[in-house]
Amino acid sequence: MPLHVTAYSVKIASPGDAAMEMIIAREVIGQWNASHALAEKRILLPLGDEAPACDLLVDFFCDSPGATGDVSEIEHQLEAGHPALIYFSEGRVNLTGAHNLGSRTLEEFTKKYAAAVVDSYGDEKEFRAKFAQQLDAVVRSHAHFNTGGPSPTQVSRVPAAPAEKPLSICARSILSEACDDFEAYIGHIRIGDSLRIQANGKQLVEQNDPVAAAQWESAFQELLAGGHIRDAGCNGQLFQISTKGFAFLKTIGKTPVGYIAELGGM
């Protein structure tokens, strides 16, 4: 018997340079789905800037003063009775190094868009905690998620079981390198602001480059969320190609080596 799940779209927009914030937002949405989707029979589908309409808008303002972004999108969202979460970086720089807009703009937004959740954060940890709490509160309490249902535009555009997007170039690189490893292992280690993704004896992340680190982290989370890799222990620092990952590798002509091949990894 098919499982009927209501799909709600979450558009993650960023008028400024908020690459790391967008990665964290997708991670938190994935965690919400893992914890609540099956029991509540509803799932949150994270979308990017290309989405024309959405059930929930998540917007960041982290760039230099004067770069106000497309506020008309926020206004259209609220006019339609749909919820919005708006975040400002309150530190001197945001998580990827861009200057924030300042407290005056935050106060103006709070007054102008009273129907939205407007908040600020100082670092990655604070944003993750606030977004997780506020996302859950909006989904549980906002009328659109409890009486209005998904927007007709979004339901017709995104099916309940959307087709899987092609893997990014970085995600393919991680899988391909791990496929050439005897045990198909992938190391994922964070030490402070430093990120290391290792496979087949290689360090894949360019050091001292926040933008590159954000791209590789996004690719890793893409593989994890898509089920192409699985946790292999070591306090969440070691991962291994999954059966689905091997199936994908087969479609691009990659064959595993070592005992993984002997165990029928493909």
**What would the CATH number be for the domain defined by 6-157?**
3.40.50
pLDDT at 260: 56
pLDDT at 223: 93
Q: Max CA-CA distance within the chain?
A: 64
Residues of the chain with CATH 3.40.50: 6-157
Contact at 8 Å (CB) between 256 and 245? no
pTM of the model: 0.52
Residues of the chain with CATH 1.10.10: 169-262
Find all residues with CB under 8 Å of 249, minimum gap 6, and list them.
175, 176, 179, 241, 255, 256, 266
Determine how β-strand 117-121 pairs with β-strand 185-191.
Answer: unpaired
**What would the CATH number be for the domain defined by 169-262?**
1.10.10
**pLDDT by residue for the chain (266 residues), tens digit each?**
445 678 888 888 765 556 778 888 989 999 999 998 888 888 898 887 666 778 999 988 765 444 445 678 888 888 888 999 988 876 544 444 444 444 556 777 788 888 889 888 888 888 899 999 999 999 988 888 876 555 444 444 444 455 567 889 999 999 999 998 888 889 999 887 789 999 988 999 988 888 888 899 999 999 999 999 998 877 888 999 988 988 888 888 888 775 555 444 44
Q: What SS3 class is residue 254? A: coil
Two structure tokens written together for 21:
């914030």
What distance, in Å, lies between the first and last C-alpha atoms of the chain?
29
For the range 109-113, what are the long-range contacts, defined as Cβ-Cβ under 8 Å and sequence gap of 24 or more? 109/61, 113/74, 113/75, 113/78, 113/84, 113/86
pLDDT at 153: 41
Q: What SS3 class is residue 104? A: helix
pLDDT at 172: 92
Q: Which residue has the tokens 């861009």?
A: 98
Contact at 8 Å (CB) between 35 and 136? no
